[in-house]
Amino acid sequence: MSSCLVFAAVAGSVSGVGRPVTAWVLNIQAEPPTVTETHELALAFGQQCRKRLPFRNPLTRQMEFTVRSSDPEILQVASTSLKLAPLTASHIDLVFGPVQGRMIRKAECFLFISTSDGQVSDTRLFKLSYT
């Protein structure tokens, strides 16, 4: 469990520092997401890369899926919405951004695929290495 102390202050005084009004302690407990599939990719350092990820609607009804990245700086989704007929397959277009300027050699990023009612139906983990 992590704790964070948050202060609320009255803005502006002669010294530029606000007067504290109240404070809260936030206790946060979170579990890592359940990963349904892991993808390990080697990418060229400093270059953008596009990949297609196969995805299938496992449901017996038409469904709209929302796709989002846990770190858009590393992994962007070309189209964040995907509408699929029952039990049909398609693909998700992914764009892996260049990591120039940072001396990063390894990174991890989650891709969350949710149904229109907000339920996460699929979580993919991308383990990236840059050469």
pLDDT at 16 over 60: no
CB neighbour list of residue 101: distance below 8 Å, 6 or more residues apart: none
Q: Which residue has the higher pLDDT, 18 or 91?
A: 91
- 81-84 vs 63-69, strand pairing mode: antiparallel
Q: Residue holding tokens 């005084």?
A: 13
9 or 50, which is more confident: 50
For residue 14, is pLDDT > 60? no
pLDDT in tens, 68-99: 999 999 999 999 999 999 999 999 999 999 87
The DSSP bridge partners found for residue 8 are 22
Going by C-alpha positions, the residue among 37, 89, 27, 30 that lies closest to residue 58 is: 89
Cα–Cα distance between 130 and 104 in angstroms, integer? Answer: 8
Which DSSP category does 70 fall into?
S
Region 18-32: mean pLDDT is 76
Structure tokens at 79: 């189209």
Considering the four listed CATH numbers 3.40.50.720, 3.40.50.9100, 1.10.287.3510, 2.60.40.10, the one that applies to the domain covering 37-130 is 2.60.40.10
Half-sphere exposure of 47 (CA within 13 A, CB side): 9
pLDDT surpasses 90 at 53: yes
Which parts of the chain fold into alpha helices (H)?
A: none
Work out the percent of the chain whose per-residue pLDDT is above 70.
Answer: 83
Residue 125: what pLDDT? 98
CB 97 within 8 A of CB 11: no
DSSP three-state, residue 23 = strand
What are the residue boundaries of the structural domains of the chain, listed by start?
1-30, 37-130
Average pLDDT, the chain: 86
